[in-house]
């Protein structure tokens, strides 16, 4: 498959999420939006769920790679700042289930599991630099930080507050720091 056709299908999948939600998506709807035969989706991805997951991860990795500032605090500040801005994008809000039409698809779980692994290097580098205790699981630490950071977005639908993120980072760093 050519890169431009893959991009068109990725965009169609993201647009379908905004239009119909995960539970309303189908290979037929995505293919129609992209102007291709639904068999292309099945041939390349197996089904529309795998296509959508690929599209969401490709978009997220391109727009929001893990920061590497040289310090745990710097990485967490950058991460919280960028994460706080991301929910303005409609598909991201759908992945958080902040709308009334909540769905519980495996896609959401897979997406967040993969993204937790994508950002684990923040904590792995912190362990290597001696900023994080060696017994901290980097994936679990990332899950905890991300969830706490997105508290306002998840529970109120409002953006991350700067003062909240600053306090969260201070508390979190104290919690993962080696014993002094």
133 with 141: CB under 8 angstroms?
no
- Residue 55 and residue 13 in contact, taking contact as beta carbons nearer than 8 Å: yes
SS3 content of the chain, % helix, strand, coil (to 5): 75, 0, 25
Which of 58, 76, 102 lies at the terminal end of a domain, its last residue? 58
Task: Identify the domain containing residue 16 by its residue range.
Answer: 3-58
Judged against a pLDDT cut of 60, whether residue 59 lies above it is answered with: yes
Structure tokens at 139: 């994936």
| pLDDT over threshold 50, residue 104 | no
Q: Residue 32 pLDDT more than 80?
A: yes
Q: Are residues 68 and 141 in the same domain?
A: yes
Q: What is the mean pLDDT of the chain?
A: 85
- CATH no. for residue 32? 1.10.10.60
Is residue 142 within 8 A of residue 120, CB to CB? The reply is yes
Same domain for 147 and 70: yes
Asked if residue 68 and residue 54 are part of one domain, the reply reads: no
Threshold 0.85, pTM exceeds? no
- CATH of residue 99's domain is 1.10.357.10
Q: How confident is the model at residue 161 (pLDDT cuts 50, 70, 90)?
A: confident
Last residue of a domain, one of 38, 58, 78: 58
Count of residues in the chain: 180
């Amino acid at each position: 498959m050519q890169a431009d056709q893959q991009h068109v299908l990725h965009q169609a999948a993201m647009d379908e999420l905004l239009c119909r939600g995960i539970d309303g998506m189908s290979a037929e709807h995505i293919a129609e939006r992209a102007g291709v035969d639904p068999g292309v989706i099945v041939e390349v991805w197996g089904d529309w769920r795998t296509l959508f997951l690929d599209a969401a991860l490709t978009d997220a990795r391109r727009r929001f790679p893990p920061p590497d500032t040289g310090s745990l605090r710097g990485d967490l500040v950058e991460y919280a700042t960028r994460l706080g801005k991301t929910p303005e994008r409609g598909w991201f809000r759908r992945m958080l289930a902040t709308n009334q039409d909540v769905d519980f698809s495996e896609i959401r779980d897979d997406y967040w599991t993969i993204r937790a692994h994508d950002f684990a290097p923040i904590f792995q580098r912190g362990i290597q630099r001696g900023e994080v205790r060696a017994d901290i699981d980097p994936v679990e630490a990332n899950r905890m930080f991300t969830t706490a950071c997105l508290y306002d977005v998840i529970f109120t639908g409002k953006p991350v507050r700067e003062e909240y993120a600053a306090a969260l980072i201070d508390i979190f760093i104290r919690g993962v720091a080696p014993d002094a």
